[in-house]
């Protein structure tokens, strides 16, 4: 069937064409904007989901780390105990070797009645009827490397302490360290009866400390005494047939201002 338009077709103006174009473009922009917003929403949703999953994995890892930390503490404690046990075993073996060596020094005429060891000393109690056997036993002990090394270690420590006391001008404490040093030197066998007589006379007369001089084996000693005791100390040394030698430095040495 044919149709006839009886109305006159009105020609569209520029404004009408522009509005039509604007509406068409506007719809496209709206649709594009909504599409971008929807895509952004979906992307954000996926990110949130991944974040939730990541938090869940982190909590799982934290639980595993906590469990492993407890096991690590137990393992480290076990390691420490094993190391301590090994040290004790080695120390026990070393103590056994020292005890065996010392008992081998004793002849059949010497009976060891007491023997104890600590980190810094060895105590021995013995009985014998033979002076010669006792002398040989003491000589063997003095030459035993374990005892010699221990003595030299203590002498080195005394030197370090003595330097501190000297710098602090604590002469009384310095004298006590000098006396300790003399005891170690005597145990090494480098002192003599003449030296011991002069040393003990000086101490009894008021000296802070006294010891043999040099490598020992001779008859020279030094002492540290307060000024008010100098005369008494000199007299005490002379009473043992010792000769007091007054010495002084030729030039002034280095001073700490």
Count of CB atoms situated within 10 Å of the CB of 70: 10
Whether residues 85 and 137 fall in one domain: no
For the domain that residue 217 is a member of, what is the CATH number? 3.30.70.890
Among 40, 75, 104, the domain boundary falls at: 104
Model confidence pLDDT, tens digit, residues 193-230: 888 899 999 999 999 999 998 766 667 899 999 999 99
Computed over every residue of the chain, the mean pLDDT equals 77
Q: Give the pLDDT band (50/70/90) at residue 2.
A: very low
- Tokens coding 143: 């030459």
Name, in order, each residue with C-beta under 8 angstroms of 26's C-beta and a sequence gap of 6 or more: none
Range(s) of the domain holding residue 35 = 19-104
Distance CA 4, CA 21 (A): 29
Positive/negative CA dihedral, 74, 79, 85, 88: negative
Whether residues 238 and 162 fall in one domain: yes
Evaluate whether residue 151 is within a structural domain.
Answer: yes
- Give yes or no for a contact between 209 and 175, defined as CB atoms under 8 angstroms apart: yes
Evaluate whether residue 28 is within a structural domain.
Answer: yes
Evaluate whether residue 9 is within a structural domain.
Answer: no
Whether residues 63 and 120 fall in one domain: no
Evaluate whether residue 7 is within a structural domain.
Answer: no
Whether residues 84 and 172 fall in one domain: no
Q: Give the pLDDT band (50/70/90) at residue 37.
A: confident
Whether residues 78 and 93 fall in one domain: yes
Q: Is 85 left (phi over 0), alpha (psi -120 to 50) or beta?
A: alpha
Evaluate whether residue 200 is within a structural domain.
Answer: yes
Whether residues 48 and 91 fall in one domain: yes
- Tokens coding 249: 């430095």
Among 118, 143, 168, the domain boundary falls at: 143
81 or 190, greater pLDDT: 190
Model confidence pLDDT, tens digit, residues 105-155: 777 777 877 777 665 566 677 777 777 877 787 777 767 777 767 777 778
81 or 50, greater pLDDT: 50
Evaluate whether residue 112 is within a structural domain.
Answer: yes
Model confidence pLDDT, tens digit, residues 161-181: 999 999 999 999 999 999 988
Whether residues 112 and 100 fall in one domain: no
Distance CA 172, CA 207 (A): 9
Distance CA 80, CA 248 (A): 57
Highest mean pLDDT among 48-52, 169-173, 187-191: 169-173
Whether residues 153 and 138 fall in one domain: no
Whether residues 100 and 132 fall in one domain: no
Evaluate whether residue 236 is within a structural domain.
Answer: yes
Q: How many domains does the chain have?
A: 3
Evaluate whether residue 168 is within a structural domain.
Answer: yes
Whether residues 242 and 200 fall in one domain: yes
Model confidence pLDDT, tens digit, residues 73-103: 676 766 766 665 665 566 567 667 777 777 7
Whether residues 177 and 95 fall in one domain: no
Whether residues 188 and 207 fall in one domain: yes
């Amino acid at each position: 069937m044919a149709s006839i338009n009886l109305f006159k077709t009105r020609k569209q103006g520029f404004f009408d064409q522009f509005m039509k174009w604007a509406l068409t473009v506007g719809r496209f922009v709206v649709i594009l904007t909504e599409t971008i917003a929807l895509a952004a929403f979906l992307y954000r949703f996926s990110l949130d989901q991944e974040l939730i999953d990541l938090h869940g994995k982190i909590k799982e890892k934290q639980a595993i780390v906590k469990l492993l930390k407890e096991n690590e503490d137990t393992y480290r404690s076990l390691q420490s105990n094993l190391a301590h046990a090994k040290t004790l075993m080695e120390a026990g073996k070393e103590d056994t070797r020292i005890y065996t060596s010392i008992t081998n020094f004793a002849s059949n005429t010497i009976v060891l009645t007491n023997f104890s060891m600590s980190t810094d000393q060895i105590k021995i109690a013995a009985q014998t009827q033979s002076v010669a056997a006792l002398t040989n036993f003491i000589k063997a002990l003095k030459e035993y490397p374990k005892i010699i090394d221990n003595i030299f270690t203590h002498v080195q420590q005394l030197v370090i302490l003595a330097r501190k006391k000297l710098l602090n001008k604590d002469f009384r404490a310095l004298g006590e360290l000098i006396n300790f040093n003399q005891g170690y030197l005597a145990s090494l066998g480098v002192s003599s009866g003449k030296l011991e007589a002069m040393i003990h006379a000086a101490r009894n007369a008021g000296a802070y400390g006294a010891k043999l001089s040099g490598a020992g084996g001779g008859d020279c000693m030094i002492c540290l005494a307060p000024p008010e005791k100098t005369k008494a100390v000199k007299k005490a040394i002379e009473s043992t047939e010792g000769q007091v030698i007054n010495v002084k430095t030729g030039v002034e040495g280095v001073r700490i201002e």
